[in-house]
Structure 1
Amino acid sequence: MIGCLLIHGFTGAPYEVEPLAKYLKERTDWSIRVPTLPGHGVPGSLKGVQYQEWIDHAEAELTHLITTCDKVYVVGFSMGGMIASYLAANYPVEKLILLSAAAFYLNPKQLTIDIKEMIKDSLRGNLQDNELFLRYKRKIKETPFAATLQFRRLVTFIKPLLHQVNVPTFIAQGECDGIVPLKSAEYLFHTISAKQKKLALFKHSKHLICHCEERDALFSQVLAFLNEKKQV
């Protein structure tokens, strides 16, 4: 049996990767796990949580799959992509999928565009209908500064280990991502040591790439990569 672990991002929850999990469930007989990282899923729960707890939780989920499956794939979104990379560098992971993975954080150019759109909606009286505004507002309101510091420490801890990732890796990034800049995907592609790797850019996709209009094309590429014969 094949196992597949999907890891959500910082301040997020399984919903961030659920569309991909659903896509895989409908087309495979794999054992799929989509855990909620400590402090996530319930507003206000991140206070006091250390980044090592996120890694430990993901390790426990992966260990379960390794002990019950013949081979395991790991998918990580945003911060989850960094955790997934750590797992791939330290455990017998067969393939790695990185979605909007946060080796770098904040894309000033796209963020400026997004803010301009929010201002336009505000002038029209439609700001409360702007999904991006609501998401930013929630994240700012619910995220303790200490938790943000833990996120940055996690990235700092994992980045030096990226060159140890030798498993086939698929990296996907939206070109309209206002949270993670394009250079993050490019950095991951050039830093990861895997011989079999692919970088796929999606012209109209923002940060929540599993929910964007190009998600069907993304999901089909992910599944094709996972089903592709591993190069020796």
Structure 2
Amino acid sequence: MKGCLLIHGFTGSPFEVQPLADYLAEHTEWKVAVPTLPGHGEELELKGILHHEWIECAEEALKDLLDECEEVYLVGFSMGGLIAGYLAARYPVSRLVLLSAAAYYINFEQLLKDIKEIINDSLNGKLKENELFNRYRKKIISTPISSTREFKKIVKLSKSVLGEIDIPTFIAQGEEDGIVPIKSAYYLYDKIGSSRKILRLEPGAKHLICHCDGQMELFDEIFCFLKEKNKGRSLR
């Protein structure tokens, strides 16, 4: 049996990667695991949670898959991508998929565009319909500053092992991501040690790339990559 572990992002939940998890479950008989990191979920309880607890949670889920499966793939979104990369450098997984992985964070140019859209919706009485505002307003209020520091520790730790990743790696990044800038994807492409790397930039996609309009084409390409029948193209 094959297994696939999907890891969500900082202040997030399995919702962020669930469309891809559902796609894989529908198209395969793989064991698909999508854990909720400590303090995360739709209701955040991050106070007092340390970065190593997030890593350990994902690590335990990975160990379970390695015990049960002949071959295991790792998929990580945003901070989950950094955790996935860290684990890929230390465990015998076969392939790595990084989605909007946050080696760098806050794309100010795109963020300003998103804020302008939120302001326009507010002026037009449509603020309650703005998904970006609704999803991130609550997160900002519920995220302690100490948790942001713990997130930065994940970034530093993962960057230190990128050169040790020697398995095929697929990197996907939304071109209109207001949280993670495109330079993060290029940085990962350059620093990861594997000789087999693919970089896909998704037009029109924001941070939640698994929920973008082009999700099915993206999922098809990821699936082909995981099955070693990749039809993607390197951009570098």
TM range, smaller chain: over 0.9
Partner of 1:200 in structure 2? 200
- In structure 1, C-alpha distance between the alignment counterparts of 2:42 and 2:121, rounded to whole Å: 29
Partner of 1:185 in structure 2? 185
Is the CA contact (8 Å cut-off) linking 2:118 and 2:133 kept in structure 1?
yes
- In structure 1, C-alpha distance between the alignment counterparts of 2:147 and 2:12, rounded to whole Å: 13
Is the CA contact (8 Å cut-off) linking 2:75 and 2:81 kept in structure 1?
yes
- 2:141 matched to 1:154? no
Shift of 1:44: 3.9
What letter corresponds to residue 118 of structure 2 in structure 1? M
Matches within 5 A, 1:117-128: 117-128=117-128
- In structure 2, C-alpha distance between the alignment counterparts of 1:44 and 1:169, rounded to whole Å: 31
- In structure 2, C-alpha distance between the alignment counterparts of 1:157 and 1:50, rounded to whole Å: 13
TM-score normalised by length of structure 2:
0.95
- Give CA deviations for 1:82-119 in whole Å, capped at 9, x if unaligned: 00000100000100000000000100010010011011
Partner of 1:223 in structure 2? 223
Structure 2 gap ranges (5+): 231-236
Shift of 1:134: 1.0
Matches within 5 A, 1:27-176: 27-41=27-41, 43-176=43-176
Is the CA contact (8 Å cut-off) linking 2:11 and 2:44 kept in structure 1?
no
Q: Identity, % of aligned pairs?
A: 57
- 2:195 matched to 1:209? no
Is the CA contact (8 Å cut-off) linking 2:177 and 2:205 kept in structure 1?
yes
Change (3 A) 1:141 1:194: same
- In structure 1, C-alpha distance between the alignment counterparts of 2:183 and 2:4, rounded to whole Å: 27
Partner of 2:233 in structure 1? none
Q: How many residues align?
A: 230
Is the CA contact (8 Å cut-off) linking 2:86 and 2:157 kept in structure 1?
no
- In structure 2, C-alpha distance between the alignment counterparts of 1:130 and 1:42, rounded to whole Å: 18
Structure 1 gap ranges (5+): none
**CA RMSD between the two structures:** 1.0
- In structure 2, C-alpha distance between the alignment counterparts of 1:35 and 1:44, rounded to whole Å: 15
User: Residue 128 of structure 1: SS of its match in structure 2?
Assistant: helix
What letter corresponds to residue 210 of structure 1 in structure 2? C
Shift of 1:219: 0.3
Is the CA contact (8 Å cut-off) linking 2:170 and 2:222 kept in structure 1?
yes
- Give CA deviations for 1:128-170 in whole Å, capped at 9, x if unaligned: 2111111221111111111111101111121111111110000
* Deviating 4+ runs (over 6 angstroms): none
Change (3 A) 1:115 1:216: same
- Give CA deviations for 1:60-91 in whole Å, capped at 9, x if unaligned: 01001111110100000000000000010000
